């Protein structure tokens, strides 16, 4: 086993670089890169990787970084990059184009608070602004999960049934800059796991077409329903590629949802990212007291795993959603999605809690407050803020 003590950024950079190198047998890999805290170490890792058929281009903005990835992917190469926070916001137009062009680009998004006010700590509001941009989004909880999910992301993105870009998200600093001992993939394993990258609609001089010309509403409608069809292929494809991952790497990579002690639970707590690790410990505390509580970690935010969630929540009358993000005027974004997902599927009380918005620590006591509050609650209230100093 190749165990190493590495940060989340290192884990992402390592997996991306090995994936890029694996495509040396096809058209190689090309990345546009641009620094921003806290993801900079990822693009630095990629920039110093000795690719045998690859080119890393340090450009002048995030918008151009994704632009380079689009051009490269449209010319048949494997392409990837990373960004955070306002960098993602600046990149936004081309982020959308990558998906609408059905390009299998992989991007690591290190979730950092959007400014102003300027703040580098963890908050998912940056990548969640792309929820309607046709990217598959996977939220990781540990460094191992980042390393493995990044490889899974390439396999999924390039699956001909899917052909959508994939965003691998992780909490700023808590994952990106914290070292954990994890098992790193070897090139030989990645070569076996990832087939040559094929972009079926890549530029072809023998068949000159115009990519991205004008369409009338009817053709645009077809484009959107094609995106819908591709998104619907993701759950089954993800399971296949997870199984193949286990065969090659000898360990499991987490799937769309991870349920813990939910079987007989009457209260289920739903979270994503690193909060779900702390939540798990708190669930154990309450179970030790004989309380029927459980938790679900949502990893796959797009496409949203409606059916699986409904199945796992079926027996639980009360649900709490813990969001480290905030959509002004409504509440937490995962909370909105869970409510929408369960609408008309059972009679749940779905209470939203805003925890760690702007990067504040979400410690066991924060979550204990949520557990106590939900226990006493008989009707739903507006999303409840946690961590505000009186």
Binding-site ranges for another protein (CB under 8 A): 27-28, 30, 32, 53-55, 57, 59-61, 63-65, 67-77, 79, 93-94, 97, 203-205, 207-216, 219
Tell me whether residue 90 or residue 286 sits nearer to another protein (CB atom).
90
Q: What is the distance between the alpha carbons of residues 166 and 149, in angstroms, rounded to a whole number?
A: 10
In the complex, minimum distance from the CB of residue 27 to another protein, in angstroms, rounded to a whole number:
5
Q: What is the distance between the alpha carbons of residues 52 and 186, in angstroms, rounded to a whole number?
A: 16
Tell me whether residue 48 or residue 314 sits nearer to another protein (CB atom).
48
In the complex, minimum distance from the CB of residue 354 to another protein, in angstroms, rounded to a whole number:
34
In the complex, minimum distance from the CB of residue 76 to another protein, in angstroms, rounded to a whole number:
6
Integer distance in angstroms from the first to the last C-alpha of the chain? 49
Tell me whether residue 70 or residue 162 sits nearer to another protein (CB atom).
70
Q: What is the distance between the alpha carbons of residues 325 and 335, in angstroms, rounded to a whole number?
A: 10
Tell me whether residue 94 or residue 274 sits nearer to another protein (CB atom).
94
DSSP 137-167: EEE--SHHHHHHHHHHHHHHHT-TTT---EE
Tell me whether residue 53 or residue 131 sits nearer to another protein (CB atom).
53
154, 159, 164, 168: CA torsion to nearest 10: -30
Q: How far is CA 71 from CA 59, 85, 101, in A?
A: 13, 23, 11
Tell me whether residue 213 or residue 290 sits nearer to another protein (CB atom).
213
Q: What is the distance between the alpha carbons of residues 179 and 162, in angstroms, rounded to a whole number?
A: 33
In the complex, minimum distance from the CB of residue 66 to another protein, in angstroms, rounded to a whole number:
8
Grouping H, G, I as helix, E, B as strand and the rest as coil, residue 298 is strand
Tell me whether residue 25 or residue 343 sits nearer to another protein (CB atom).
25
Q: What is the distance between the alpha carbons of residues 335 and 350, in angstroms, rounded to a whole number?
A: 8
In the complex, minimum distance from the CB of residue 34 to another protein, in angstroms, rounded to a whole number:
10
In the complex, minimum distance from the CB of residue 4 to another protein, in angstroms, rounded to a whole number:
29
Which tokens sit at 171? 């909490």
CB 337 within 8 A of CB 356: no
Q: How many CB atoms are located within 10 Å of the residue 278 CB?
A: 21
Tell me whether residue 97 or residue 257 sits nearer to another protein (CB atom).
97
Q: What is the distance between the alpha carbons of residues 337 and 348, in angstroms, rounded to a whole number?
A: 14
Q: How many CB atoms are located within 10 Å of the residue 327 CB?
A: 16
């Amino acid at each position: 086993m190749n165990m190493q003590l590495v940060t989340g950024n290192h884990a992402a950079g390592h997996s991306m670089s090995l994936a890029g190198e694996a495509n040396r047998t096809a058209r190689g890999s090309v990345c546009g890169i641009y620094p921003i805290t806290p993801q900079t170490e990822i693009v630095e890792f990629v920039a110093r990787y000795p690719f045998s058929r690859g080119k890393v281009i340090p450009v002048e903005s995030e918008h151009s970084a994704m632009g380079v990835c689009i051009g490269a992917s449209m010319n048949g190469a494997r392409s990837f990059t990373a960004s955070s926070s306002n960098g993602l916001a600046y990149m936004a137009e081309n982020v959308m184009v990558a998906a609408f062009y059905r390009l299998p680009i992989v991007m690591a998004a290190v979730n950092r608070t959007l400014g102003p006010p300027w703040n580098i700590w963890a908050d998912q509001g940056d990548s969640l602004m792309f929820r309607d941009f046709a990217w598959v989004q996977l939220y990781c909880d540990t460094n191992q999960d980042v390393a493995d999910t990044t490889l899974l992301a390439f396999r999924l993105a390039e699956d001909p049934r899917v052909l959508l870009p994939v965003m691998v998200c992780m909490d700023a600093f808590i994952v990106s800059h914290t070292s954990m001992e994890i098992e790193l993939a070897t090139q030989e394993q990645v070569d076996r796991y990832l087939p040559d990258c094929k972009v079926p609609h890549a530029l072809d001089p023998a068949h000159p077409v115009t990519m991205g010309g004008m369409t009338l509403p009817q053709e645009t409608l077809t484009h959107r329903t094609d995106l819908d069809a591709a998104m619907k292929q993701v759950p089954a494809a993800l399971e296949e590629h997870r199984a193949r991952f286990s065969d090659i790497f000898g360990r499991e990579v987490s799937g769309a949802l991870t349920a813990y002690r939910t079987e007989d639970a009457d209260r289920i707590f739903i979270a994503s990212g690193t909060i779900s690790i702390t939540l798990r410990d708190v669930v154990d505390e309450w179970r030790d007291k004989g309380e029927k509580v459980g938790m679900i970690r949502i990893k796959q935010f797009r496409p949203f795993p409606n059916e699986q969630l409904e199945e796992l929540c079926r027996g639980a009358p009360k649900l709490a959603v813990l969001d480290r993000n905030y959509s002004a005027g409504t509440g937490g974004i995962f909370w909105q999605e869970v409510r929408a997902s369960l609408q008309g599927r059972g009679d749940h009380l779905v209470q939203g809690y805003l925890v760690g918005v702007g990067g504040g620590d979400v410690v066991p006591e924060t979550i204990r407050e949520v557990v106590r509050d939900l226990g006493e609650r008989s009707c739903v209230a507006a999303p409840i803020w946690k961590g505000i100093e009186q």
